[in-house]
Chains A and B, each alone.
Chain A
Amino acid sequence: MNQNLTLLQSAIEAGKRKDAVALTRSLLDEGMAPLDVVEQALVPGMSVIGEKFKRNEVFVPEMLIAARAMKECMVLLEPLLVAAGVKPKHTAVIGTVQGDLHDIGKNLVAMMLKGANFAVHDLGTNVPTEKFVEAAREHGAELVCLSALLTTTMPAMREAVGVIRAAALPKVKILVGGAPITQEFCNEIGADGYSPDAASAVDKAKEVLSA
């Protein structure tokens, strides 16, 4: 394996942004395909830190700096992926529900989905329910991801699921997550899947899409 790929993976895991960007440039200069850089270094790097996060071995800031490092590498790689005709496998719309301004978890999930070759349309925070429907329709999304950090905004998540279900978008699956959300709540409001953390979100997204 190319040593720079290993180094890039380690730089992502450790959240070393400058090193990661420099290594990405080197790999591209060496003639490596952008998709290979994503699949062989960035995604494995994020997967390792994501797994550690899932096992409570690292803290949120460590996960965040890894995501930031990956994001900066993706800034270099995305135009090249488009130019090379690499098409996303799936399209997702993501946002934090109305009344909630928290975006860390949502951003992490968006980053992980991008790494897994999803086209991700991030609607931001405090998203009105109808915006999810509009965006899903506009982009032909197969997945809508709803995030909430506050218990007080859980009703907004319930409402969003209801409105999306009523909007005649039969192929759209709904994934929910956030600190107060549980599998029981997910079942209760009729969402298709629940992910307790960003690292599990990609697996859960693939699972609900293949169901």
Chain B
Amino acid sequence: MSLDGQKRLELLRVCWPLFPGLPDTLDLPEGLGLRLVDSSGVVFAVLRNGAGFGPISRSEQKEMVEEALRWGDPCYRWCDDENIAIALPLTWNQTLLGGLLALVPSSLTSNGQGNGASPPREIAQRLMDFLGQCNWLNLALMADHRAAAERERLRAEAIHEAKTRGEGPWQASYSYWEPELFLAMRRRERSEARRILNRILLALYSLGMEDLGRTKGFVLDLVTMMARTMVDCGADPADTLGRGMERLNQLDALEDEETLGRWVADILERLIDAVEKTTCPSEDFRMSLALKYLREHCEQPLSRDEVAAKVGLSPAHFSRLFSAAVGRSFSDELLHIRLEKAIRLLGRSDAPIKEIAGLCGFSDQGYFTRVFRRKLGRTPGAYAALSPHRTKVLQTERMSQ
């Protein structure tokens, strides 16, 4: 069924009388604000003013309602005034009509570090149950979307875990040497590039343990990692790997160590050729490598001087180029990258906050909590306790704005 905006609004207006009794029926707390929006995010009824909704824009309201439907769960967002907005979709069969927005004042939100249900979650659950009972929310559709989101989450986590488990000496070696390797290739120092690659290949082949399938898997990982960095540095891997990476498909057909050995040598020479031909300015190339190095080693105690040396620049020159390219100082960017990682881990892991702090390069949990709160308006514990996964997506976006 497809309804245009006008008809959706009419439907909502027709049902408007159902809602005024809502707060009392559900025993909702004092200070809670409630409003109805249409599918484009425009407010068409204020059910209860509560503490006031603050500056939530129409597009934000629309986005929250759509996100809630997409993930099959209420959508939460911290407002600048520390209140928490909750969005629930209003549906007619499978069609989105609009949304119910609740604003939970900061006095009701949890500051705790525990994992129990927080007041915003309880309120959201009561509202969702109510809308389902009134047939204003298709709970079966929400459950389907929730299940799909859960499957996607589990799949993503499985991939992440597999990658984490697979992080062995050769991958660590590659990650460590990557800036030097790409700089050598860019400088047309082919011998130096081969020397670095041979260090990595020595570990890779050792871990392959003469198992052709295993070694092919590692080789595929290596070539893919190099191709990804080539893209970051402005090179076109399609020149080397073929459109749709068809050259990588040949790998599967290789039947013995001998043909694999020749294939590896050939593809690596081609990758070196492609990086040599890169035309992006040398400074941009170095900054791409530096940023990638920061992202991949942010859990370690990194210094500006160390990263500058990795990309072959003096510390002072590196600082100037970095600020100009990234728009932030080295230390600000490193903090930003570490907090982004913390947000991802808080949304995915049950690990204690202290452990997450360590995994993100914060040796002091107190400092981690302070900077997290300063940048995101919440302690890491409060952040982790609030909601499952898509809340983190929204917060990440908000942080990057």
A13 to chain B, nearest CB (A): 13
A179 adjacent to B203 (CB under 8 Å):
yes
A204 cross-chain contacts in B, Cβ below 8 A: none
For B198, give its contact among A16, A56, A149, A150 (CB under 8 Å). Answer: A56
Q: Contacts of B194 on A, CB cut-off 8 Å?
A: 56-59
Of B49-57, B255-263, B380-388, which stretch is located at the interface? B255-263
What's the nearest-Cβ distance from chain B to residue A101, in Å? 7
A60 touches B257 (CB 8 A): no
Q: Is the CB of A64 within 8 A of B195?
A: no
Distance in Å from the Cβ of A106 to the closest Cβ of chain B? 9
Contact A149:B202 (CB < 8 A) given known A64-B257, A65-B261:
yes
* Residue A105 CB within 8 A of the other chain: yes
Q: Mark B191-214, 1 if CB is under 8 A from A, else 0.
A: 110110111011101110000000
Across the two chains, which residue of chain A brings its CB closest to B200? A60
Q: How many residues on A have C-beta within 8 angstroms of the other chain's C-beta atoms?
A: 23
Considering only residues 25-73 of chain A, those with a C-beta below 8 Å from chain B are 53, 55-62, 64-65, 68
A78 within 8 A of B: no
- For window 185-238 of B, CB contacts with A under 8 Å fall at 190-192, 194-195, 197-199, 201-203, 205-207
CB distance from A23 to the nearest CB of B (A): 15
A56-B198, A149-B169 known; A61-B260 Cβ under 8 A: yes
User: Do the beta carbons of B206 and A61 come within 8 Å of each other?
Assistant: no
How far is A201 from B321 in the complex, measured between Cα atoms in Å?
44
Summarize B's interface: helix, strand, loop or mixed. Answer: helix
- How far, in angstroms, from A104 to B200 measured CA to CA in the complex? 12
A15 within 8 A of B: yes
Residue of A56, A62, A102 touching B206 (CB-CB under 8 A) = A102
> Could you tell me the distance in whole angstroms from the C-beta of B272 to the nearest C-beta in chain A?
11
Cβ of A142 under 8 Å from chain B: no
Q: Given A17-B258, A101-B206, decide whether A60 and B169 contact each other with a Cβ distance below 8 A.
A: no
Flag if B201 contacts A59 (CB, 8 Å): yes
Which of B191, B192, B207, B261 has a CB less than 8 Å from the CB of A61? B261
Main secondary structure of the interface of A (DSSP, over half): loop
B376 at the interface (CB under 8 A from A): no
Total contacting residues, chain B, CB less than 8 A: 23
Determine the distance from Cα of A125 to Cα of B207 in the docked complex, in whole angstroms.
Answer: 12
Partner of B265, one of A16, A56, A61, A179: A61
Tell me whether B199 and A179 are in contact (CB under 8 A).
yes
B265 and A102 form a contact (CB under 8 A): no
- Shortest CB-to-CB span from A197 to chain B, Å, is 9
Q: Known: A59-B201, A59-B268, A68-B257. Contact between A103 and B206, CB under 8 A?
A: yes
Number of A-B contacts (CB under 8 A): 68
Complex Cα spacing A149 to B203, Å: 7
In the complex where A59-B198, A59-B264, A150-B169 touch, is A104 in contact with B206 (Cβ < 8 A)?
yes
Minimum Cβ distance to chain A for residue B259 (Å) = 9
Closest CB of chain B to A50's CB: distance in Å?
A: 13
- In the bound complex, residues from chain A placing their C-beta under 8 Å from that of B265 are 58-59, 61-62
Residue picked from B190, B192, B195, B264, most chain A C-beta under 10 Å: B264
* Contact among B191, B199, B202, B206 for A57, CB-based, below 8 A: B191
Of residues 257 to 293 in B, which have CB atoms within 8 Å of A's CB atoms? Answer: 257-258, 260-262, 264-265, 268
A61 touches B205 (CB 8 A): yes
Q: Of A17, A59, A64, A105, which contacts B197 at CB under 8 A?
A: A59
- Produce 1/0 per residue, B156-196, CB < 8 A to A: 00000000000001000000000000000000001110110
Q: For chain A, residues 88 to 104, give those with C-beta under 8 angstroms from any C-beta of chain B.
A: 101-104
21 A–B pairs (Cβ distance < 8 Å), ordered by A = A15-B261, A15-B262, A16-B258, A53-B198, A56-B192, A56-B194, A59-B194, A59-B197, A60-B202, A61-B261, A61-B264, A61-B265, A62-B262, A64-B205, A64-B257, A65-B258, A102-B202, A103-B206, A104-B206, A149-B202, A149-B203
- Closest 10 pairs (CB-CB, A-B): A61-B261, A102-B206, A60-B201, A56-B191, A65-B261, A56-B194, A56-B195, A61-B264, A104-B206, A59-B265
Task: Give me 12 other A-B pairs in contact (C-beta within 8 A), A62-B265, A102-B206 excluded.
Answer: A15-B258, A56-B192, A56-B194, A58-B265, A62-B261, A65-B258, A101-B206, A102-B169, A149-B202, A149-B203, A150-B169, A179-B203
Q: Which residues of B contact A (CB under 8 A)?
A: 169, 190-192, 194-195, 197-199, 201-203, 205-207, 257-258, 260-262, 264-265, 268
- Interface residues, chain A, with chain B CB atoms under 8 Å away: 15-17, 53, 55-62, 64-65, 68, 101-105, 149-150, 179
